A = this chain, B = another copy of it.
Amino acid sequence: MSISQAVGTWEGTLKAGRGTMKPENGSEIPFSLATRFEGKKGSNPEELIGAALAGCFSMALSLGLEKAGMTPQSIQTSSKVHLDKDGEGFKISRIALSTEVRATGGDQAKFSTVAEDTKRNCPVSKALKGAEIVLDAKLLA
């Protein structure tokens, strides 16, 4: 139905090299071994995975709330992507989402049901089947 494009590069060896990530309609994002694994300030693929999931979840939650008879006003979702050792390599073991939502027309119980359903069924969540996704969802007063 739709096809989205991006490019990733790596120059040189793992330790001495460096990479870039470029969504077709976004800025080029540099990364390196140090920004991914050694705590140096800078981006990495996990930040983009977290941004994609937080964006997809937020968009899908607006639709879910509407379908449940609520009126979404603003949704802000933060993500923390955990990268852990996995044998000789690494894996994204867990993604923690935390969302704060302003919406009218429903109570906390209805909101929580919709939020959990969105966590399971938004397109990016369904793609990320290899990682555990957990959600903390707050309906603000």
Contact = CB atoms under 8 A, between A and B. Distances in A.
Contact of A56 (B8, B14, B52): B8
A54 B4 contact: no
Interface string A50-73: 111111111101110010000111
Contacts of A131: 127
Copies of this chain present in the complex amount to 2
Interface string A7-43: 1111111100101111111110101010111010111
B90 A1 contact: yes
Nearest to A27: B27
B123 A89 contact: yes
A72 to B, nearest CB: 6
A10 to B, nearest CB: 4
Q: Is the interface of A mostly helix, strand, loop or mixed?
A: mixed
Contacts of A10: 55, 58-59, 61-62, 72, 74-75
Contacts of A62: 10, 12-14, 17
A76 interface: yes
B2 A25 contact: no
A25 B6 contact: no
27 contacts: A4-B81, A5-B47, A5-B80, A8-B51, A8-B77, A10-B61, A11-B75, A12-B62, A14-B59, A14-B62, A17-B59, A17-B62, A17-B72, A19-B55, A23-B29, A25-B29, A26-B29, A26-B47, A45-B124, A48-B48, A48-B51, A49-B124, A86-B126, A92-B123, A92-B126, A128-B130, A129-B129
